[in-house]
C-alpha cells in the first residue's frame, strides 16, 4: 500500500511538473504570407528551431497573398494579445488599419516583437512601425543612418548623406558583439562567423532610443560600405520591446546556429526580460560557421 501511495504521488508529481512546464512555454506567433523572400521555406525553419528550444508554443498567422483586395483582408486579424511574442517574417502590403492599431497596442502594452531580415523592409508608410523598428530598408532621404566605429562608438549620419539601404554579394561574415552584458548576447563569443547571408547596409529611420547589440563590417570587396553596420538591435516601445536582426535572408542563413540562438534568446527576452536558453555548445566561432541540419 505504501508503495502504491508513493507511486501515485510520483505520478502526480510528474504530471503536475510536466503540465507546469507546458504552462511555462511562451506563446509565440509568426506572421507571414507576403515577402519578397521565400517565406514558405523560412517560416518552417523558424518554427522548428523555436519549438525545438522547448521554450515556445509556436503558431503561424498567414496573411492573404500579395495583391489581395481590401475585402480579402477581412479574414486576417491576428489576436496579438494572446501571445507573448510576435515574430514578423512579413514584407508586403500594408495591413488593415485595425491590425496596425492592434499591433501598436500589443507592443506598447508590454508585448514583445521580433523582426527578422526583410520584415524591416515592410511598411515605410506606417509611422509607428518605423519607430518600433528604428531602421528599415529605406532610401537615403528617409531618415538617419546609424553605424559604429571599429571600436563600437555610434555614428549617426543625417538623411541624404551616405548610402540608402542595400547589400553587397552574399557571403559569410563576422558578427561582432557590441553589448556583451546584454542578456541575449551574453556568453556568445565576442566575434563569430555567420553563415552566407546578405549584409544589410545603409538602413534608415528615426532610430530613437536604439540599442545596437551587434554589428558586422561591410567590406567594399563584397560590394559593401566600409562601415560597421548594425546587425542586431532593440528599441523600447512604451512598455514593450522590439528586437531586430537583419540576418536571415534565406534557408542557409537561418540554419546558422548563431542566428537561431539570437532569435530564440531574443524571443524569450522580449517576452520575459530574462534569458534562460543556453548558448549552444556548437555555436559558431570566430573563424568557423556552424549550421543546423
Residues that bind Zn ion (CB under 5 A): 198, 249
Residues facing residue 230 across a β-bridge: 215
CB 109 within 8 A of CB 126: no
Contact 84, 50 (CB under 8 A): no
Give the shortest CB-199-to-Zn ion separation in angstroms: 10
| Gap between the terminal Cα atoms of the chain | 50
Residue nearest to Zn ion (CB): 249
**Residues 87, 115: Cα–Cα separation, whole Å:** 6
What is the full DSSP assignment across 42-108? HHHHHHHHHHHTTSEEEEEEEPPPTT--GGGGGG----GGG-SEEEE---SSPPPHHHHHHHHHHHH
Query: Quick one: 104 or 198, whose CB is closer to Zn ion?
Result: 198
CB of residue 126 to Zn ion, shortest distance in Å: 20
Which of the 8 DSSP states describes residue 281?
T
Is the Cβ of residue 106 or residue 233 nearer to Zn ion in the bound state?
233
Nearer to Zn ion, 42 or 53 (CB): 42
State the nearest-atom distance from the C-beta of 238 to Zn ion, in Å.
Answer: 30
Taking the least distance from each CB to Zn ion, the nearer of 145 and 249 is 249
Cell of 265: 534568446
Least distance between Zn ion and beta carbon 28 (Å): 22
The nearest distance, CB 250 to Zn ion, in angstroms, is 7
Amino acid at each position: 500500500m505504501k508503495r502504491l501511495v508513493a507511486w501515485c504521488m510520483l505520478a502526480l508529481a510528474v504530471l503536475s511538473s510536466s503540465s507546469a512546464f507546458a504552462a511555462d512555454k511562451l506563446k509565440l506567433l509568426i506572421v507571414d504570407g507576403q515577402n519578397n523572400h521565400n517565406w514558405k521555406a523560412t517560416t518552417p525553419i523558424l518554427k522548428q528551431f523555436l519549438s525545438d528550444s522547448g521554450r515556445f508554443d509556436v503558431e503561424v498567422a498567414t496573411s492573404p497573398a500579395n495583391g489581395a483586395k481590401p475585402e480579402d483582408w477581412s479574414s486576417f486579424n491576428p489576436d496579438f494579445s494572446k501571445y507573448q511574442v510576435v515574430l514578423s517574417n512579413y514584407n508586403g502590403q500594408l495591413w488593415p488599419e485595425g491590425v496596425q492599431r492592434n499591433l501598436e497596442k500589443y507592443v506598447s502594452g508590454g508585448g514583445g516583437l521580433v523582426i527578422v531580415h526583410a520584415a524591416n523592409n515592410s511598411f515605410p508608410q506606417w509611422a509607428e512601425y518605423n519607430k518600433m523598428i528604428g531602421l528599415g530598408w529605406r532610401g537615403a532621404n528617409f531618415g538617419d543612418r546609424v553605424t559604429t566605429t571599429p571600436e563600437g562608438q555610434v555614428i549617426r549620419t543625417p538623411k541624404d548623406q551616405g548610402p540608402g539601404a542595400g547589400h553587397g554579394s552574399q557571403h559569410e561574415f563576422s558578427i561582432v558583439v557590441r553589448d556583451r552584458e546584454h542578456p541575449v548576447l551574453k556568453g556568445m563569443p565576442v566575434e563569430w562567423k555567420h553563415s552566407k547571408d546578405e549584409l544589410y547596409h545603409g538602413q534608415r529611420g528615426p532610430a530613437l532610443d536604439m540599442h545596437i547589440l551587434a554589428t558586422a563590417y561591410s567590406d567594399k570587396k563584397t560590394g559593401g560600405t566600409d562601415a560597421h553596420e548594425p546587425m542586431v538591435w532593440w528599441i523600447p516601445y512604451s512598455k514593450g520591446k522590439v528586437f531586430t536582426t537583419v540576418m536571415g535572408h534565406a534557408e542557409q542563413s537561418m540554419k546558422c546556429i548563431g542566428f537561431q540562438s539570437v532569435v530564440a534568446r531574443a524571443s524569450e527576452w522580449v517576452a520575459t526580460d530574462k534569458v534562460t536558453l543556453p548558448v549552444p555548445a556548437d555555436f559558431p566561432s570566430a573563424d568557423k560557421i556552424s549550421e543546423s541540419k
